[in-house]
A and B are shown apart, each in its own frame.
Chain A
Amino acid sequence: MSLTDAAAAPGLATSEALRVRGATKTYGAVEALRGADLTVRRGTVHAVCGDNGAGKSTLIKLISGVEAPDGGEISVDGRPVHFADPHAALAAGIATIHQDLGLAPRMAIYQNIFMGSELTRRILGVPVLRRRAMIARSAEFLAQLNSAITDMTVPVDTLSGGQRQAVAICRALRWKAETIIMDEPTAALGVRETAQVLALIRRLREQGVTVILISHNMADVVAVADSVTILRAGRTVLERATEGLDADSLSHLILFVGAEAA
């Protein structure tokens, strides 16, 4: 698979998947971002941390194309990009998985996975859905994530929180996303489901996918992330490997690094 090839190529494994330099964003009188930087290496799990109001959500909105930055630069694979909308970000290989907003609860698993990019064939020039092919491909995607779900036609609202994350990830894989942004993927989940989602993230990294993880949960971050960016008051105050960090020391960094600058 192409995903695995990318991971196997040593040159690519250390190259930059995404870089943000000096991003600024103002909402009325509120300066949400005042110069945020982010460097994410390909094939790694990179966490973005910070207290409430530090600018995490705004930064993610810029990367995922939901909003445009007022200033600063975003580049993908070393090339500057300007995303007009989320679709443009998807086209550049960046998919975002949101807590709640990403799925249509009453639609089937396969319909959710292929939402917006259905498999079709032309009959007399009319594009017609290939339902069976989509069901089969969905099963493959989910198997790739070691998921136990077998019936692709059940509505998503019958699944557990962890399973829904798996479905959302499959949609990103369907888009051939090279970078997947996960916004608080474990926020609403129990212990077992959280473990499932962390396993999903590791599985993605094994397959060469770059994961940007936004999380409030320090234990999750140190458990799966290779590196972390810490935001404070709209600025990046630290970017480092998670090696040698535990949940407590990470919390300490978030609370105190750069505090005098803010």
Chain B
Amino acid sequence: MKTIIAKYGTAITGLVILVVLILFARNFASSANMLNVLKNTSFLTILAVGFTFALITSELDLSFANIASLAAVVTGGMIYSGIAWPLAALAGLAVGLVAGYVNGLVVTVAKVPSLIATLGTASIAGGLAFMLTGGVAFVGRWDPVFLSLARGKVGPVPVLIFFMAAVVIAGWFVSRKTPLGVHMLATGEATEAAHRAGIATRRMKRIGLTLSGLAAGIAAVLLVASLSSAAPQMAGDYLLNAIAAVLLGMTMFEPGRPNIAGTFVGALIISVLDNGLVLLGAPYYLQDIMLGLIVIGSVSVSASVLKKAAFSV
């Protein structure tokens, strides 16, 4: 019973919240609103899956939101200046990938703790995004095929939901079913033991941070297509939301350990809460307060499972 609560307590709480909102929030349960919530969760989930990989190797990434903004501006700027959108989209993905790899190098080669390293690269990416745009947004005529990446629907279901599902399933598969996944896990759980077992632990940390950057690139391209514009700081709001989703996810399924299934459910809970609070007419600042409580509460729950501080710098 105790382990059931430890493993599924958060998810059950999420279900209870869902039921309460269905009963008391007007329009919440409509299929249009449900699909809308899922659609809006997709950016959050994709970014959070990336952050999960960094955290699995026991490294923090505070730069993914600014990297996503930079990637968005690069993609948007290229389309704006008339370059074919597939190239621009690839460039956005490449920006995320390279920025994530740079994070990995700074952490594993220059030996800067990831908290500080990614705080630095976050600032650099944010600055570059402003430099490229001159501080304004790219808006204009966009190829409808490109826009359909994020706005298209299969039947009633937005395409974004399929992108989210693909990222979650791929992330779950890699982390749980492949040697790469367990090597990353072992690196995060016991770096010295993993190293002595022949695992290239620094490489695993680089891969974790690179995947976080790549996820930022994917989210960025979809965000540009969804909003048909690109502005510096456009992904900034996702930073704490995505981190909260991952930390909340660490309280379920594999308590104390970042895991993709937990991240997905964590992102869903946060989106549902956000949406529900709006529909209930709660003031907007309540979302921020709630987010802060989720972050602190989750880490304290994880810490009690781990019987030590959940994070150290």
Residue B18 at the chain A interface, CB threshold 8 Å: no
Binding-face segment, B129-137, B182-190, B285-293, B296-304: B182-190
A96 and B182 in contact (CB under 8 A), knowing A106-B189, A106-B257? no
Do most interface residues of chain B lie in helix, strand or loop, or is the interface mixed?
helix
Residue B192 at the chain A interface, CB threshold 8 Å: yes
Residues of A124-141 whose CB lies within 8 A of B = 126-129
Report the separation of the CA atoms of residues A120 and B177 in the bound assembly, to the nearest whole angstrom: 9
Q: Are A129 and B179 in contact (CB under 8 A)?
A: yes
- Quick one: closest A residue to B305, CB to CB? A106
Residue B15 at the chain A interface, CB threshold 8 Å: no
For B160-188 the 0/1 string (1 means CB < 8 A from A) is 00000000000000000111011101100
Residues of A166-196 whose CB lies within 8 A of B = 171
Q: Smallest distance from the beta carbon of A228 to chain B beta carbons, Å?
A: 26
Binding-face segment, B28-36, B46-54, B196-204, B221-229: B196-204
Residue B266 at the chain A interface, CB threshold 8 Å: no
Q: Are B199 and A116 in contact (CB under 8 A)?
A: yes
Q: Are A101 and B256 in contact (CB under 8 A)?
A: no
Q: Are A86 and B198 in contact (CB under 8 A)?
A: yes
Residues of B66-107 whose CB lies within 8 A of A = none
Report the separation of the CA atoms of residues A106 and B188 in the bound assembly, to the nearest whole angstrom: 11
Report the separation of the CA atoms of residues A111 and B189 in the bound assembly, to the nearest whole angstrom: 12
Residue A22 at the chain B interface, CB threshold 8 Å: no
- Quick one: closest A residue to B176, CB to CB? A129
Q: Are B190 and A116 in contact (CB under 8 A)?
A: no
A117 and B193 in contact (CB under 8 A), knowing A128-B177, A128-B178? no
Q: Smallest distance from the beta carbon of A172 to chain B beta carbons, Å?
A: 10
Could you say which residues of chain A place their CB within 8 Å of the CB of B186? 104, 107, 111, 115-116
Could you say which residues of chain A place their CB within 8 Å of the CB of B128? none
Could you say which residues of chain A place their CB within 8 Å of the CB of B196? 86, 96, 98, 101-102
A118 and B182 in contact (CB under 8 A), knowing A103-B193, A106-B257? yes
Residue B153 at the chain A interface, CB threshold 8 Å: no
- Quick one: closest A residue to B181, CB to CB? A129
Residue A90 at the chain B interface, CB threshold 8 Å: yes
Report the separation of the CA atoms of residues A116 and B183 in the bound assembly, to the nearest whole angstrom: 7
Residues of A10-62 whose CB lies within 8 A of B = none
Residues of A42-98 whose CB lies within 8 A of B = 86-87, 90, 96, 98
A120 and B179 in contact (CB under 8 A), knowing A102-B193, A104-B186, A106-B257? yes
Could you say which residues of chain A place their CB within 8 Å of the CB of B256? 106
- Quick one: closest A residue to B254, CB to CB? A106
Residue A105 at the chain B interface, CB threshold 8 Å: yes
Could you say which residues of chain B place their CB within 8 Å of the CB of A101? 190, 192-193, 196
Q: Are A104 and B189 in contact (CB under 8 A)?
A: yes
Could you say which residues of chain B place their CB within 8 Å of the CB of A171? 197
Q: Are A117 and B192 in contact (CB under 8 A)?
A: no
For A140-181 the 0/1 string (1 means CB < 8 A from B) is 000000000000000000000000000000010000000000
Q: Are A129 and B177 in contact (CB under 8 A)?
A: yes
Q: Are B198 and A105 in contact (CB under 8 A)?
A: no
- Quick one: closest B residue to A126, CB to CB? B178
Q: Are A116 and B257 in contact (CB under 8 A)?
A: no
A115: contacting residue among B181, B194, B257, CB under 8 A = B194
Residues of A199-213 whose CB lies within 8 A of B = none
Q: Are A107 and B189 in contact (CB under 8 A)?
A: yes
Q: Smallest distance from the beta carbon of B222 to chain A beta carbons, Å?
A: 25
Could you say which residues of chain B place their CB within 8 Å of the CB of A106? 189, 256-257
Residue B195 at the chain A interface, CB threshold 8 Å: yes
Chain A CB within 10 A, most for which of B177, B193, B256: B193
Q: Are B183 and A105 in contact (CB under 8 A)?
A: no
Q: Are A127 and B185 in contact (CB under 8 A)?
A: no
Report the separation of the CA atoms of residues A101 and B190 in the bound assembly, to the nearest whole angstrom: 8
Q: Are B198 and A111 in contact (CB under 8 A)?
A: no
Could you say which residues of chain A place their CB within 8 Å of the CB of B179? 118, 120, 127, 129
Q: Are A116 and B192 in contact (CB under 8 A)?
A: no
Could you say which residues of chain A place their CB within 8 Å of the CB of B194? 104, 115-116
Could you say which residues of chain A place their CB within 8 Å of the CB of B197? 102, 115-117, 171
Q: Name B's A-contacting residues (CB within 8 A).
A: 177-179, 181-183, 185-186, 189-190, 192-199, 256-257
Which 3 pairs from chain A and chain B are nearest by CB? A116-B197, A104-B190, A116-B198
Q: What are 9 of the A-B contact pairs (CB < 8 Å)? A: A90-B198, A103-B190, A103-B193, A115-B197, A116-B186, A116-B194, A117-B197, A128-B177, A129-B182
Given contact pairs A102-B197, A115-B194, a sample of 16 additional A-B residue pairs in the complex whose CB atoms are under 8 Å apart: A86-B198, A98-B196, A102-B196, A106-B256, A107-B185, A107-B186, A107-B190, A111-B182, A111-B186, A115-B182, A115-B197, A115-B199, A120-B178, A128-B178, A129-B178, A129-B182
